[in-house]
Amino acid sequence: MANEIISEQVASWEEMMLLYNSALKKMQTKLEILNDEFQHVHQYNPLEYVKTRVKTPDSIAKKLKRHGKEITMENMVDCINDIAGMRIVCSFTTDIYRIADMIGRQNDITVISVKDYIRNPKPSGYKSYHMIVTIPVFLSDKTEQVKVEIQIRTMAMDFWASLEHKIFYKFEGDAPDYISSDLRDCSEIVSMLDDKMRQLNEAIQEAKTKQEEG
């Protein structure tokens, strides 16, 4: 009997992971199509690269414990929104909002929540645009709505976030004040760089248009 229960749990877990992986594949295909269309219409490619990942069982269990939840399949699905994660990296801040808008207008995607850490950065200096969406995954006998967390940021923001994660991992989340302060300063420098690069890109596009018209 115990073996049957364990087999059942393993089967349920494997099916759940299949759903999350399938949701990410479907999102990735959508983004490739949207990127190709954008390039065709505007002669410009807004995406630099896309990364996806599914949380490990260990990471899921730790997150449920932090939230005081029992480790069950039901709690995993209901309480954790970022089991399937997608990071979209763009060249410019304006691309972030374009891509978020394109995703939101897909008729089979439902946007559950949005957190704009670009206009409202975290106290640490972290900047990114977060969306929780659901996307349907069609199986042979049913359709499941699966949650995906999407993070959209520039290359400069991604560089900062990656270093911040490594630094705080070394200090186990308790970095000295001077390091936290320096990271916040670096975040401001990243914002200035992003803004300058955006202005430069706009100036290039304007000069190109004038050249073509002339």
CA atoms lying within 13 Å on the CB side of residue 184: 11
In 3-state terms, what secondary structure has residue 41? Answer: helix
Question: Which is catalytic among the residues 149, 164, 172, 202?
Answer: 149
Contacts of 49 (CB under 8 A, 6+ apart): 89
Annotation says 149 is catalytic: yes
Burial of 21 (0-12, 13-18, 19+ CB in 10 A): middle
CA distances from 203 to 91, 92, 96, 102, 197 (A): 15, 13, 19, 25, 10
CA distances from 58 to 71, 76, 122 (A): 11, 12, 26
Q: How many CB atoms lie within 10 A of CB 86?
A: 22
Which residues are catalytically annotated? 149
